[in-house]
Structure 1
């Protein structure tokens, strides 16, 4: 596979590796971006394993809580101008309202708002505003209580990041946890519910890194135990240092507050979507030549 400058740039930005190291990693992995990140980490050349999800699309995440149910929906637009449009925001709010009564995004698309299916509502708004839009995803949590938090709010209940936290106990503490989730983006509530594939991948990367050191297998085993414990503390909500009191983990802080956190959801606009980068100068030149 041909390794392009754009691929090298993307890998450098996501890992902090040097240009030649990034190029070599892509060459060694035949252009597989994810494998190239792991290759750099194994060689000790990646400064940090940054999250692969890139916020590249525009739009809004809206949250709604009612009767122990919390929902978050993401609706994308092509530009941030549309995300600031009152008509677009009104549509997003009405869709979030409808989401409370459905289980998933497919059911939400079929749900009705003022007698019209949500999917048709989006289609009509595309025609009205003149920009492509999409109801991309929805998430739902239930609990004795649910709190919502919006980061970078564009209007009430909607913004660039939406968080829901299901809890039993102190609501003000649960709101602090929601803010923590917005800031740290944990992968799972705790180790028990963390995707085994994520765990196994990290374990293999750490084994490869340890083997590069040339240490005996018995020493490597002990190294892996410690490194995996550190990994769990970094990616699970309960294991993370609480942003409001870094001396405590979220789990310890919850115990102090007499509060149980049972679930959370975090949606960020455009997460995981790659947006095509336009070369404006090239476009102008093309028009001039035409």
Structure 2
């Protein structure tokens, strides 16, 4: 019996040690889980249809973020877009054509460490504060006081933050999360949510958003569960319209069925 008890205690101790090691690994390596940038060389040449220009926006000492500004022939407005956690502008710039066809100028940029952008993401402020600087810079360049703010996945919370601080015509959220911490808990239910050093509280930001909010979410999304965006519609005082799509997963941004609805929305908001 004593041997069995010792064995059980040893197994519990070993499991506890492994759990602590896993916690430390997640805590110190979480950037590798959250951010999956593609790095582009400085001389990389973007190739897209339509008129566009590369823009470098300083956000900190010796740090500039690389962006692409696409210009429509007869623009009815400006869309500032905050992209997901993977890839770079060589991919994200390809989505501009839909907005150009609907007579909207379109701006998208790479976060720190993505594409041609300088620096690395080391804290939440590097995402949120940079996003405000981007908004101010592009709004001034385009002389647009009331742009449409849009965000996908990781960028949805960033977009909501910007809309809570700045003027916006509308806020478009694709596959949004209630909070980044809740998303981490959904993905790793056996680990405490506060282990995540990065937290973006979409729900809290929406309480201070005055413009109409449109949410687009695939019902087969296994990365950010649809229940999270459903909870966003329950926030008092907000104007959130949620559109869901059967047989659509996390890749809702740019999906043909989503674009069909989005086209009607873009027509209505101007």
Larger relative helix fraction: 1
* TM class by smaller structure: under 0.3
Q: Which has the larger radius of gyration?
A: 1
Higher-RCO chain (CA-CA 8 Å, sequence separation at least 6): 1
TM-score of the superposed pair, with normalisation by structure 1: 0.23
